[in-house]
Amino acid sequence: MHPFSLSSHTALVTGSSQGIGLALALGLQQAGARVVFHGKDAPPSTLPPGTPFLAGDLLAADGPAHLVSAAFAQEPALDRLVCNAGSFFDGPFLTLEPATFEKTVHLNVRANYFLIQAFARELIARGRPGAVVIVSSTNGYQSEEDSTAYDTSKGASVMMTRTLAQALAPHGIRVNGIAPGLIRTPLNAWMTEKPETVRHYEKKILLGRIGTPDDCAGAAVFLLSAASHYVTGQILVVDGGLTTGQIGRM
């Protein structure tokens, strides 16, 4: 079998109704995986008819466990998980309300932690190895203005990747992450559609362009495939070189 093939695997991708999550899920499908899509509400009309889809609010206390249970009920062969669901709710630090901070951490950190816990428990009970990809961000390494809660949550995601890799290695479950840089998604359209902002980042990003969701798919395929069977606890930065140079082109 080709080392990058996922034809013998089944994956759940959270937050896969749009943006990066949708591109990741479609990329896993193209690599041969059977994929369960997920969103908070109804499936998007862009999904092919018959595509497995589960709706679920990961902010609910039992949301992560319920989603994993439903995914295994629908696809008992499940052995891959992509924790992509997350969002940005920030504002200026000095006026940020506790509820906003808690919502950010709850969705971006707590939900993923307990998703992986529930997923790992199911795999261990079945005596099955597996692999997890956590979608973090370059914000987990570099701060951004008016992004203190989000940056904090993504920094936690980086360490979660490493500590869960250690916790689950004895059970044959690998945990890795990807850290996208500036990617065009519905979440940041307000920024990536401003000509002056685009010009600024085109000079800062070594590859000369803002990324697309499809740019992230190959990294996830690699980390979930046999090609990375000796890789765990690592975060692959997918940013076109945004965080490599200090200044960028003048």
What's the DSSP call for residue 244?
A: T
| pLDDT class of 46 with cuts at 50, 70, 90 | confident
The span from the CA of 11 to the CA of 228, in Å, is 16
Average pLDDT score over residue span 202-210: 93
Angle at 16 between CA 163 and CA 226, to 5 degrees: 55
Q: Which domains does the chain have, with CATH numbers?
A: 10-238 (3.40.50.720)
| pLDDT class of 154 with cuts at 50, 70, 90 | very high
The span from the CA of 139 to the CA of 155, in Å, is 7
| pLDDT class of 1 with cuts at 50, 70, 90 | low
Average pLDDT score over residue span 228-239: 98
**Which has the minimum average pLDDT: 43-47, 67-71, 241-245?**
43-47
Q: Token pair of 242, please?
A: 């945004």
Residue the block writes with tokens 């497995």: 52
- 109-120 pLDDT, tens digit per residue, is 999 999 999 999
pLDDT at 220: 98
How large a percentage of the chain has pLDDT more than 70?
100
| pLDDT class of 170 with cuts at 50, 70, 90 | very high
Helix axes 111-126, 63-74, angle to 10 degrees: 40
Amino acid at 216: C
pLDDT at 145: 93
Helix axes 111-126, 148-168, angle to 10 degrees: 20
Q: Token pair of 207, please?
A: 């590859």
Distances from the Cα of 127 to the Cαs of 103, 155, 168, 170, in angstroms? 35, 32, 13, 12
pLDDT at 190: 74
Nearest to 11 by CA among 85, 107, 75, 86: 75
Active site residues: 137, 150, 154
Residue 197 pLDDT greater than 90, yes or no: no
